[in-house]
Amino acid sequence: MIAPIPVSLLVNGEPIEALVAPRLNLADFLRETLKLTGTHVGCEHGVCGACTVRVDGEIVRSCLLLAVQAQGSSVETIEGLSDSGEIADLQAAFRARNALQCGYCTPGMLITAQDLLRQSPTPDRAAIREHLSGNYCRCTGYQAIVDAVEATAKTRAEQAA
Amino acid sequence: MKAAAFTYARATSVVNALELLAAHGDKAKVLSGGQSLMPAMNLRLVSPDIVVDIGGLTELRGIAVSGDVLAIGALTRHVDLLRSPEVAAHAPLLRDAVAHVAHPAIRNRGTVGGSLAHADPASEIPACMAALDATIVVRGPGGERRIATAEFFRGIYETALSPQDLLVAVELPLSGEGARFFFQEYARRHGDYAIVGLAARALVGGGQFTDLRLGFFAVGDRPLLADAARKLINVSVTPALLAETAAALAEELDPEEDQQASPAMRRHLATVLMRRCVAALLERPELETGGAW
Q: Residue A92: which region, alpha, beta or left (left: phi > 0; alpha: psi -120 to 50)?
A: alpha
pLDDT tens for B1-10 read: 899 999 999 9
Q: Closest partner residue to A23 among B6, B35, B190, by Cβ?
A: B6
User: How close does chain A come to B151, measured CA to CA in Å?
Assistant: 30
pLDDT at B200: 98
pLDDT over 50 (residue B257): yes
pLDDT tens for A98-150 read: 999 999 999 999 999 999 999 999 999 999 999 999 999 999 999 999 999 99
Number of residues in chain B: 293
pLDDT tens for B68-121 read: 999 999 999 999 999 999 999 999 999 999 999 999 999 999 999 999 999 999
The fold adopted by the segment(s) B7-53 is 3.30.43
Residue of B38, B98, B123 to mutate, testing the A interface (most A Cβ within 10 Å of its Cβ): B38
**Is the confidence metric ipTM above 0.90 for this complex?**
yes
Q: Closest partner residue to A130 among B35, B39, B190, by Cβ?
A: B190
Domains of chain A: 5-81 (3.10.20.30), 85-160 (1.10.150.120)
Q: State whether residue A48 sits within 8 Å of chain B by CB.
A: no
Domain B62-173 has CATH 3.30.465.10: yes
Q: State whether residue A142 sits within 8 Å of chain B by CB.
A: no
pLDDT at B290: 55
- What are the residue ranges spanned by the domains of chain B? 7-53, 62-173, 180-289
Who's near B114: CB < 8 A, 6+ residues apart?
B32, B33, B34, B35, B36, B37, B74
Convert B117-184 into a string of H (helix), E (strand) and C (coil).
Answer: HHCCCCCHHHHHHHHCCCEEEEEECCEEEEEEHHHHEEECCEECCCCCCEEEEEEEECCCCCEEEEEE
Q: Is A69 in contact with B1 (Cβ distance < 8 A)?
A: no
| Mean of all residue pLDDT scores within chain A | 97
Domain B180-289 has CATH 3.40.50.300: no
pLDDT over 60 (residue A8): yes
pLDDT over 50 (residue B293): no
| Mean of all residue pLDDT scores within chain B | 95
- On chain A, the residues whose CB falls within 8 A of the CB of B189 are 133
pLDDT over 70 (residue A13): yes
pLDDT tens for B153-199 read: 999 999 999 999 999 999 999 987 789 999 999 998 888 889 999 99
pLDDT tens for B120-147 read: 999 999 999 999 999 999 999 999 999 9
